Amino acid sequence: MSGAALVTGASRNIGRGIALALARDGYPVACFGRDRSALTETADLIGEAGGTASVHVGDASSDTDLEVFARDAAERHGGIAAVVNNAGVMREARVGDTTPDAFREVINVNLVAAFVLARAAYPHLRERGGVVINIGSMFASLGVPAAASYCASKAGIEGLTRSLAAEWGRDGIRVVNVAPGYVRSDISAAALDDPALAKRILSRIPLKRVSEPEEIGDLVAFLASPRAGFMTGETVMIDGGQRMHV
The CA R_g of the chain, rounded to the nearest whole Å, is 17
135: closest CA among 213, 52, 62, 71? Answer: 213
The closest of 4, 198, 13 to 90, measured between CA atoms, is 13
Q: Which of 27, 122, 150, 182 is catalytic?
A: 150
Contacts 24+ apart (CB under 8 A), 101-106: 102/149, 103/148, 103/149, 103/152, 105/61, 105/149, 106/149, 106/150, 106/152, 106/153
- Indicate the residue type of 63: D
Residues 6 or more apart whose Cβ sits within 8 Å of residue 37 = none
Query: Which amino acid, residue 198?
Result: A
Active site residue 150: yes
Positions marked active-site: 150
